[in-house]
Structure 1
Amino acid sequence: MASFVAEVLASSGKLEKEDIGTKISKLARRVEEVKGEVCDMINKKYEEFIPSLKNGEDLVNQVDDISMEIDVLKSQIENEVRRDLHVAVTEFTELKQQLEKSTVLLSMLTQLHEFDTALETHHQALLEKNYIKSATHLNKAQSNLSLLKSKKGIELKMLQVLSTEFIVQKEKLLYHLGEEWKQLAVWNLPPSPAPSKAEDLFGWTLKTELRLCNMTSKKKSDLEPLLVSVLQGFAILGELTRKLKFFSQILMKYVLKPLVLDPSFDVEIELQTQDAVLRLIAVEKKSDHASPTEVYRKVIAVLEFLHQHLLYVSHWDSVVCDVKQDAVLTELLGDMIWEDLSEIIIKNCLVYSIPANSSQLDQYEEVINETDKFEKKLKDMQFLREHSTDLLKYARNVNVHFASKKCQDVIVTARNLMTSEIHNTVKVTPDSKISIPKLPSVGLVSKAKMPETSTVAPSDMVNLGYGKQLSHRTLCIPTCRISESVQKLIELAYQTLSEATSATPECAMQLFYTVRNMFHLFYDVVPTYHKDTLQKLPQLAAIHHNNCMYIAHHLITLGHQFQCTLPSPLCNGAATFVDFVPSFRRLGTECFLVQLRAQRDELLERLSNARNLSSLDDVDNYTAANKAVRQVIHQLKRLGKVWQDVLPVHIYCKAMGTLLNTAIIEIVNKVTVLEDISSESADCLYSLCRAMLEEGPQIFQPLPEESGNKKYQEEVAVYVPKWLKFKELMIVLQASLQELVDRWTDGKGPFAAEFSPVEAKSLIRALFQNTERRATALAKIK
């Protein structure tokens, strides 16, 4: 080969152009011959699998010799061209292009050689379990293959063969790395799928176990090279992130999440002769939700186990991989689990540790400290980066979370009270008090603001001047029965507003409007939720009426009592509930009026079966009429039993008086339109009216503890407007014609006071036969 190059140079030192063309042509032919032999060898080695190591070495030597000659020749050509550029540019351009083409072909052959060498080195390193070296050379082979694919002129079939061989070798390496990883970390997981029954889920989860094999039988310094080799092998191949991601998902689902969610789980670590084992165990369940301290202890135990026995790799080799060169495995795993882990801890642990009362806020400082220690411990183990403080931010923002939780608890408690049974009642009197925490003193105003909680002696009177006095019970709620749930609802409102007086301004604002929302909720929920019972049961309608009036009574002064102790703008007049008062009064009144109308319609329906009170001398007619009247009396007495101890006395008397008045008007109207009333029928009508007259007033008889209300029974006419007319009708039924004329007394007597002339004449015509005396009497009715 040296003589071949020597012949290229002329003895005079000048390059002969004819010899150069000849030599380059020969050189190009030889390059093509070597290319063919190389392609043939590649096909035989990677496709036909014919041993060709010796031939490959010879070809490599030939390629090296030719490369040297080309370099020398190229140098001589470049020098000659520079000296004679003005003469030989055109002549030597074609020769240079041909030489460059040969150079490209030679570079392609060099890439093929390097690819083959990299695969050979990878294979040998894999046999020696040097996974870093194996993966590195496999990456180098991939780079050479990429360069070959980017060049033009290489055969497509050859590229397919090389690509297939590379994929096979990469999958082979990944398989070996995977087998090594399986031996380092062994999961024993519960069988799939998970049981559908909650009671079986506990035992199912207890089957979780992580066994780190061969972790304690050797020193870390002895084991670390293998672990580093396996993990960095994954990293070089771009598979480490995916491998750790799968590991983190199992860790979260089967270990960390159960430890946070269920306080009956704990973690146990066992160091055996050759293995380190982490498993879940059952412990006594002390509460529905584990405390933050317990959760932090369990999580740290798991992560310390992984840090000490699996993720303790101290360095990385400087190679290209899918993670940063200075990355730590604990940081990689921490980044994968921290977001989900912190969210689970917040939603299932810290939320339940938020105090339910403002007096317990000082005790929450311990939770903040424990959270701080927890995050510092994770940072020390490098599971957590310095800027990741989601838990600590949540814990320190306790005032906001306390307000949100308190408001949520208040609304939930209020709604439970609203949907509870109405018929569980308590009796309230003008002397009833609401038990609330002591409010901060704001001077003399505080005494005027709390009439409900002040102690006033029964004999105390308010002096109005001019010798007039106002009873201490003025504006107090009358004696009645309300639902126990409503009393608790009002107490809840007072307690919530009391807490607002000592809270931060933002919290106080939120608590105040939560109380307002609570009354909004009552207005919307109760009439809808209890709609059927309020329509069907008179007692519940009366209780609901009292409930609404009781709430409205407290809403008048509720805001004023707390106004001066609340922050701005509430203390400037915004803290009021007076706007609710008309709505609640209307809500209670409308419900009770609906029930009154229903009872009125039922009374009229019963009286409609009295056959118009006509021809009562007939036994069947009298029986029907008597039954109707007895049913009316029975209905009134039944209502009296369910309403009398519930409604305030004046409301009860008005309601019962209205219903009794309705029945009396119906009876009077039926009698006045009769055209003929025989003496026997008159006696029967009188008998029916006497039953109503004697038993009707009994519904106003006061309860034993209300003997002072005897006046209500004695003053029936006050609540029954047609009571005197009814009594006058009974007199008319038994009076003579002359007595009726005398009771008329030219339109000034009692008969004229209750009946119109038309009604009076109609009664006289029906009761008396057509005689001159009746005509004379009728003539006097004007």
Structure 2
Amino acid sequence: MAETEAAAGASLVAAVLEAAQGSSGRLEKEGLGGRISRLSDRVEELKDEVCNMINQRYVEFLPSMQNAQDLESEAEELSSSIEQLKSMIETEVQQDLDVAIAEFTELRQQLERDSLVLSVLKQLQEIDSALKQFSALLPEKKYVSAACHLSKAQRHLKMMESRRGFELKILKALHIELVAQTQNILGVLGEEWKQLAVWKLPQSKETGSLESALQTELHLRKTVPGEDSGVGSSATSVLQGLAILGELNYRFKIFGQLLLNYVLKPLISHPSLQSLLEEQSDAVVLRLESVGTQLGHPSPTEVFPKLKLVLEVLHKHLLAVPLDRCAGDESDTRPVLAEVLGEVIWKELSDCLTRDCLVHSIPSSSSKLGQYVEVIKATEEFEQALKDMRFLKEDSTDLLTYARNVNRHFADKKCQDVVVTARHLMMSEIHNTVKVTPESSVGLPELPGRAAGDQSCALVAPEVLPIQAGDLEAKTRLSQHTLSFPACCISESVQKLMALAYQTLEEASAGTDQYSAQLFYLVRHIFCLFWDVVPMYHKENLQKLPQLAAIHHNNCMYIAHHLLTLGHQFQGCLSGLPCDGAATFVDLVPIFRRLGTECFLAQMRAQKGELLERLSSARNFSTVDDEDSYAAANKAVRQVLHQLKRLGKIWQGILPVNVYCKAMGTLLNTALAEIISRILALEDISAENADRLFALCQMMVEEGPQVFVPLPEEKHNRPFQEEVPLYVPKWMMFKELMLVLQANLQEIMDRWADSKGPLAAEFSPSEVKNLIRALFQNTERRAAALAKIK
């Protein structure tokens, strides 16, 4: 049985192989499949027999070894036959498939080449037909149809040129022809357009001036002069032809620039200009005339109607026609000519309206903000009119958005105006001064909430503070001038700057939260700007001129004085601040005080240096018995006194009395201290030298205190000569030195009084001993006196 089945399997494989080696050398599709199917069935049968044999042997224990060997031999033969068949399929069948695919690919490529050639020929025919139609339509002035055919030819040529690897010499010739015909029709349309919109411009190239605007005219025609209306050379056909050829934007850009420079912008900039229309038989003439005044900035409610009239004329006589679409144009919308011109001029026109009109219409006071509703309404109507004429897109709201945001623009304008005014005041001359007294004060404007019974925003004055009966006696009450700024001179510009700060804070107290906060910080910015600008801008004068240094000192102290209470005066009026209305400027007070003090101290150091330099020419006050030495010392002392008197004239009446006395006392003390040190350094003083030194010192004592005499207009100030020792620490020491120069040895010892006298209060024992050694010869009396000085 096994042998029979093996033979059958072998014959099946042989049959399959034999069929595969036919005379044609190819396997027939249906026979090969049937044989492979039979072989597969036989393999399945063999699988069942193997499983049955294994079952009998290992499960039923049947002696079938011989059958198993036969089956194994048959399986090996079948496996070998299958491998041969598989190899034959992979070689011969695959080769046949490759040949068939190559033949099919070649046929397909041939078909594609034929289709491409046919398409190119068809496009060449389309280009030729379009050029023939164009050549026929152009002389008839049918510009729209002619432009469409020319555009169609251009699209076909561009499509042919885009095909990679496809080149024809005829394409270059067609391209040259299309360029020539395009320039031809553009030249014709350009000449037609020049006759449809005729400008008469001034000879001067200056644009925007009133004179050039009055010499400008624009003639708009619906048809070209000398042509019948049926010819088709209307403004609409010319403009649509330019649009189809992509030239309209360029033409409108030139036209729009002329329109802006010579018509629209002058109407915005010059309030007196009005547009004047003149209807003629074949055209409309637009010109400008001057009516009324030329002063100030025009209001938007006046400018918008002027611009609207000009644009309405253009829309009616030139632009109110949709652009025709050529065949093949798949765009959904049909824009009108007005949209094209609007896109060209609107950006520059809106910027000019904002810069030269709307900006100047922003109110300068919050009380006028309510009147700005008229401007917003006029702006809205103007934009809507332009949208109705299709000059503007529906989503364009540039002007209206700016106008509606008036609160922010008002705040920005207010801040800009205040900063500009403040900088101008800071850069003004410092020497233009005004007198301030304890009675004078910055006029504080009425603030919101000052009504009777409403003290939420009122100034807290001493007279309104509740005082219980018996708490304070009348005689113990503070003076009305307590904490008042002392009488002095300040710059007029600083007084105006302080008034500006009060006015700005008043404006802030009546505004919204955001506006109040913005103006509050603006005032702080002004004061910060002061200490940056003034010392730098006036640096040279502050260093060289003592008068300006004194005025600057007063200015800084004046500002610091007001900053102490400025925030308190407006407490509760300013909303929107992070400190819940507790606005304060107190943190700026030390900065301004330091700014004024440092400037004045620098001037004091310079004056001290000049005093010491003059005293250095006194030859150390030695050998003043010599005429030359005495003359030098006398000259030096007189120069010192002259400098002190000159400073006194400059500073007196400008500085507060106490500051003036301290400053002059310090300088006089510097001179006295230098003279004292020079005399104490002398080792030998003769009697004649002592007399002349005394004379020099007497000059200082007599003329030095004159700088403390009040001015005639300040008679209420008492003379301060008797208080010189308070401001000149070396004054008593200097007078004691004079006494020593004229005293004998016993008088000196009496004033020493065992270290308890006035001489001991001013000089040290070593200094007194040196003076005695210099004044008196070495005798027993001198030795005894020196021994007593301890």
TM-score with structure 2 length normalisation? 0.79
Distance 1:715 1:466, change over 3 A: same
Q: Give the structure 1 partner of residue 771 of structure 2.
A: 763
Question: Pick from 617, 620, 639: which aligns with 1:631?
Answer: 639
Instruction: Tell me, in whole angstroms, the C-alpha distance in 2 between the residues paired with 1:670 and 1:411.
Output: 55
- Spell out the pairing of 1:411-560 with structure 2 (5 A cutoff): 411-441=419-449, 443-444=454-455, 446-449=457-460, 468-560=476-568
1:336-485 → structure 2 map (5 Å cutoff):
336-441=344-449, 443-444=454-455, 446-449=457-460, 468-485=476-493
Task: Give, in angstroms, the shift of residue 680 of structure 1.
Answer: 1.7
Counterpart contact for 2:195–2:225, Cα < 8 Å: no
* Structure 1 residue corresponding to 2:174, chosen from 162, 166, 170: 162
Superposition pairs for residues 181-196 of structure 1, below 5 Å?
Answer: 181-190=193-202, 194=205
The answer on whether the counterparts of 1:241 and 1:322 sit within 8 Å (CA) in structure 2 is no
Contact 2:221 2:235 survives alignment (8 Å):
no
Q: In structure 2, which of residues 621, 633, 653 is the aligned counterpart of residue 613 of structure 1?
A: 621
Contact 2:486-2:656 within 8 A present in 1 as well: yes
- Write the mapping of 1:17-166 to structure 2, written as runs, cut at 5 A: 111-142=123-154, 145=157, 156-166=168-178
Does residue 713 of structure 2 align to residue 702 of structure 1?
no
Shift of 1:320: 5.1
Q: Distance in 1 between matches of 2:521 and 2:698?
A: 59
Gaps of 5+ in 2: 1-102
Unaligned runs of 5+ in 1: 1-90
Q: C-alpha displacement at 1:318, in angstroms?
A: 6.0
Rounded to whole Å, the distance in 2 between the matches of 1:735 and 1:108 is 134
Assess if the C-alpha contact under 8 Å between 1:462 and 1:472 holds in 2: no
Does structure 2 conserve the Cα–Cα contact (< 8 Å) formed by 1:215 and 1:309?
Answer: no
Amino acid at match of 1:330: A
1:691 is matched with which residue?
699
CA separation of 1:120/1:289 partners in 2, compared to 1, >3 Å: closer, same or farther?
same
CA contact (8 A) 2:322 2:334 kept: no
Deviation at 1:189, TM superposition (A): 3.8
C-alpha distance in structure 2 between counterparts of 1:602 and 1:384, whole Å:
75
CA contact (8 A) 2:383 2:397 kept: yes
Distance 1:320 1:560, change over 3 A: farther
1:340 is aligned with what amino acid? E
Q: Secondary structure at the match of 1:572?
A: coil
- Report if aligned partners of 2:270, 2:294 keep a CA contact under 8 Å in 1: no
Shift of 1:335: 2.4
In structure 1, C-alpha distance between the alignment counterparts of 2:666 and 2:165, rounded to whole Å:
111
Matched residue type, 1:128: E
Q: Distance in 2 between matches of 1:449 and 1:432?
A: 18
- Seen in structure 2, the aligned counterparts of structure 1 residues 768 and 161 have a Cα distance that, compared at 3 Å, is closer
Deviations 1:344-403 (A, max 9, x none): 111121111111111221222222222122223222322223221211111111110010
Aligned counterparts of 2:771 and 2:165: Cα–Cα separation in 1: 131
- CA–CA distance in 2 between the matches of 1:650 and 1:762? 37
Whether the 8 Å contact between 2:143 and 2:241 is mirrored in structure 1 is: yes
The alignment partner of 1:588 has SS state of: helix
Tell me, yes or no, if the aligned pair for 1:422 and 1:485 is still in contact at 8 Å.
Answer: yes
Identity of aligned residues (%): 59
Measure the CA separation in 1 of the matches of 2:474 and 2:486: 28
Q: 1:691 to 1:93 in 2, by over 3 A?
A: closer
CA distance in 2 between counterparts of 1:103 and 1:559 reads 90
Match of 1:665 among 665, 673, 676: 673
The amino acid that maps onto 2:509 is T
What is the CA-CA distance between 1:156 and the residue it aligns to? 1.6
Q: Give 1:99 deviation, angstroms.
A: 9.9
Amino acid at match of 1:181: W
Moved more, 284-293 or 504-513: 284-293
The 2-side partners of 1:216 and 1:478 are apart by 85
**8 Å contact kept, 2:278–2:286:** yes
* Cα root mean square deviation, aligned: 3.4
Q: Tell me, in whole angstroms, the C-alpha distance in 1 between the residues paired with 2:400 and 2:178.
A: 50
Q: Which residue of 2 aligns with 1:177?
A: 189
- Indicate the residue corresponding to 2:254 in structure 1: 246
On the 8 A contact 1:217/1:275 being kept in 2, the answer is no
AA paired with 1:267? Answer: S
Change (3 A) 1:317 1:145: closer
Distance verdict in 2 for CA 1:445–1:738, change over 3 Å: farther
* Secondary structure at 1:709 match in 2: coil
**Cα offset, 1:105, TM superposition:** 6.2
Name the CA shift for 1:244/1:380 in 2 (closer, same or farther; >3 Å): same
Q: Residues of 2 paired with 1:637 and 1:116: CA distance?
A: 107
- TM-aligned CA deviation for residue 562 of structure 1: 1.1
Give the conservation status (yes or no) of the 8 Å contact 2:445–2:506.
Answer: yes
2:86 corresponds in structure 1 to none
**Gap change, CA 1:220 and 1:667, over 3 Å in 2:** farther
Amino acid in structure 2 at the alignment position of 1:173? I
* SS of the residue 2:569 aligns to: helix
Per-residue CA distance 1:212-246 (angstroms, 9 max, x = gap): 24669999997987233222222333333333333
CA distance in 2, matches of 1:558, 1:425: 23
Distance 1:179 1:617 in 2: 109
Q: What amino acid maps onto 1:122 in structure 2?
A: F
> In structure 1, how many angstroms separate the alpha carbons of the residues matched to 2:479 and 2:470?
6
Distance 1:715 1:93 in 2: 124
SS in 2 for 1:366: helix
Q: CA separation in 2, counterparts of 1:224 and 1:491? A: 72
Match of 2:744 among 736, 760, 774: 736
Q: TM-score, normalised by structure 1?
A: 0.80
Q: What are the equivalent positions in structure 2 for 1:555-594 lying under 5 Å apart?
A: 555-570=563-578, 572=580, 575-594=583-602
Shift of the alpha carbon at 1:126?
A: 1.6
Equivalence for 1:723:
731
Q: Which amino acid aligns with 1:350?
A: L
Change (3 A) 1:226 1:694: same
- Secondary structure of the residue aligned to 2:604 is helix
Larger CA Rg, structure 1 vs 2: 2
